[in-house]
Structure 1
Amino acid sequence: MSNDYRYEVILYWSRRDDAYIAIVPELAGCAVDGPTRQEALSAVEVVIAEWIETAKELGRPIPEPRGRLMYA
């Protein structure tokens, strides 16, 4: 499983969830949380790979990365 994906990741602190949230806007529903920034970013790499693997298995299109920020 490669984790050299170039998708934009939006990372922010959620007071309501008491966690960092990492969202991948280009991949519908692709989001994770973690107690630290590093854990959220590590977890989002795994979820991106799983999202892509599932899309391939289901024959769904995989969006090309737009080449924007790696995280914001």
Structure 2
Amino acid sequence: MQHRYHINVFWSQRDECWVADVPDLKSCAAFGESPEEAIAEASLAIDGWLDSARAGGLPIPDPRYRPAIYAAA
């Protein structure tokens, strides 16, 4: 399923893996051994999150998160 939710990807030193967090969906995150794997797992997590919300009659938030982009001079 295609979605439009933003995914933040970062390296977690503590967990020693890549983490993919979905800020618009509370507690929706995944991890992987590469950024690509973490993103693929996050896409599955998003689908599961949305399916669970629909099944439970819970509201589904619109994609809203937009990251701030900083440039170093």
Q: Is the structural similarity TM-score above 0.5?
A: yes
TM score, norm. by length of structure 2: 0.86
Larger RCO (CA within 8 A; separation ≥ 6) = 1
Could you tell me which amino acid in structure 2 is paired with residue 41 of structure 1? I
* Structure label with greater radius of gyration: 2
What's the RMSD between the two structures over aligned residues? Answer: 1.1
**Across the two proteins, how many residue pairs are aligned to each other?**
67
TM score, norm. by length of structure 1: 0.87
Q: Does 1:9 align with 2:7?
A: yes
Task: Give CA deviations for 1:44-64 in whole Å, capped at 9, x if unaligned.
Answer: 000000000000000000001
Q: Give the drift of 1:67.
A: 6.4
* Runs of 5+ consecutive residues of structure 2 not aligned to the other structure: 68-73
Structure 1 stretches of at least 4 aligned residues deviating more than 2 Å after TM superposition: none
Q: 3-state DSSP class of the match of 2:48?
A: helix
